[in-house]
Structure 1
Amino acid sequence: MDIFASIDSAALLAAVIAVTLLAGVVKGAVGFAMPLIMVSGLGMLLEPRIAVAALILPIVMSNGLQVLRAGLDEAMQAIRDYWLYLLIVCTMILISAQFLTVIPTDTMFLVLGIPVVLLCAIQLLGLRLSIPENRRTLGAVIAGFLSGAMGGLAGTWGPPTVLYLVAIDTPKARQLVVQGVIYGLGSVMLLLGHLQSGVLNRDTVGLSAFLIIPAAFGMWAGFKLQDRIDQATFRKVTLLVLLLAGLNLIRRGLV
């Protein structure tokens, strides 16, 4: 059955498009959070596993644009500098994606939402996490495992990635490049993982492909906004977006 058959009203389709458009704007402006916003917003409108399937192709597209905007030379340098984190994230996405079809939906939302809210609240309260130079390898390993597990299960590995990059004092411009590379390679792994798990299939791929259009328009608007955000505002917006989305995920897991 074509998944569009389950979207039985123009209002529901408009809401799905609006969530994707908003996710694209945020992605273009702060460099991440598209899958988190989509899985949170679409999870209120569609069956959660369909929501995960729907975000796959839009995030492959958006992360590809982010890498190209940063430049291939910068992207290659990011791969060399963050190879360990990338390796762990990509491996864990492939592994954890296979468990999405057996983990209860409520548990999936809670496992994603609780750590996001806790980590964001810590930083917004001024208790900024900081990883010293001699703990960077351990930090990359822990954050990589957490990011990859969350990525495979709910299609988002942004929260721990951003928190890790903030904790090692990555500048705004550099952070956007690194995020683009991590999310770009990770999204390819997510695509492969869910082709294997069966979440992305002949019934769900049409919706995912269709949502590339509003996601691309949203990113274009977000890119315009990004250039007007200073470092302090960038960090605050990043954390607030994660906090709100995380709270919504917890609500979904409890209701």
Structure 2
Amino acid sequence: MILSVSAGQGVWPLIAAVTVTLFAGFVKGAVGFAMPLIMISAFSAFLPPEVALAGLILPTLFTNLSQAFRQGGGPAQATAWQYRRFLIGTVVFIAIAAQFFDLIPRVAYLLLLGVPVTAFAALQLAGVPLALRLEHRNRAEWGVGVIGGLYGGVSGIWGPPLLVYLLSVNAPKLEAIRAQGVVFLIGAVALLVAHLGTGLANAQTLAFSAALVVPAQIGMVLGYRLQDRLPQARFRRWTQALLVVTGLNLVLQALVA
């Protein structure tokens, strides 16, 4: 039964998980990211770690599918091609970095990612211009993709480098959200495949995860309504603010590890 994955705690953990997922889906629908961060942070307070992680797998997969293809297959394919350097760098270096997972202290990679991401987003919020020059964008995209892959391979976190790049090139709202959907969709598929192999994604945990797909999608639909009304400038500032929160969360995880 679905409730059995909540460690025999009855219906309340499921109700709490549904509520958290609804809110996380709303945030993702509005700005394009932060759903796994919200879910894993909240779930860890009342669910076993393996159930908390497994719970976000299917909602993450389906919401990113929705986000990537919201404007149709053509735009999604065009976005994948446009950001192919980031995608290639990320996928290749995830595979490479994963081999060194046990050699890099968790505290080190959390701080090395959290501190610069927080500083970058905070400076942008403060009005400091950090846009890349057009002639540097291809090299920057390769570089950020490699960095994202290196971090993703050892930590499972590769979203912040993409967000930093999208902010630095001042990507339009719809393009930025679609790019996140495409990149995160690939990551979500990889996460599912990996944990089918580890056994963390099994019949019980996937039943729990599947139960959260509907509230995640409902939250996304509500968030889309807000996204459609957000002007570019406000969307950018919301993204910067959430990126600061993301970076600070990584630093906090490092400090309490």
CA RMSD of superposed structures (Å): 3.0
Match of 1:90 in 2: 91
Larger CA Rg, structure 1 vs 2: 2
CA distance in 2, matches of 1:99, 1:217: 39
User: Deviation per CA, 1:171-218, whole angstroms, max 9, x where unpaired?
Assistant: 112212222222222222222233334443445322222221221111
The answer for the alignment partner of 1:140 in structure 2 is: 141
Q: Residues 1-255 of structure 1: matches in 2 within 5 Å?
A: 4-6=5-7, 8-94=9-95, 110=111, 113-152=114-153, 155-255=156-256
Counterpart residue identity of residue 46, structure 1: L
Q: What TM-score, normalized to structure 1?
A: 0.84
**Partner Cα separation in structure 2 for residue 204 and residue 103 of structure 1:** 29
Change (3 A) 1:152 1:115: same
> Residue type of the partner of 2:18?
I
5+ long unaligned stretches in structure 2: none
Alpha-carbon contact 2:79-2:179 (below 8 Å) kept: yes
SS at match of 2:235: helix
- Sequence identity of aligned pairs in percent? 41
Shift of 1:158: 2.4
CA contact (8 A) 2:69 2:75 kept: no
Return closer, same or farther for 1:159/1:53 CA change in 2, 3 Å cut-off: same
| CA separation of 1:153 and 1:129: change in aligned 2, threshold 3 A | same
CA-CA distance at 1:227 after TM superposition: 0.9
User: Using a 3 Å threshold, how does the CA distance of structure 1 residues 196 and 146 change in structure 2: closer, same or farther?
Assistant: farther
Distance 1:94 1:242 in 2: 25
Matched letter for residue 172 of structure 2: P
CA contact (8 A) 2:147 2:161 kept: yes
Where do 5+ consecutive residues of structure 1 fail to align? none
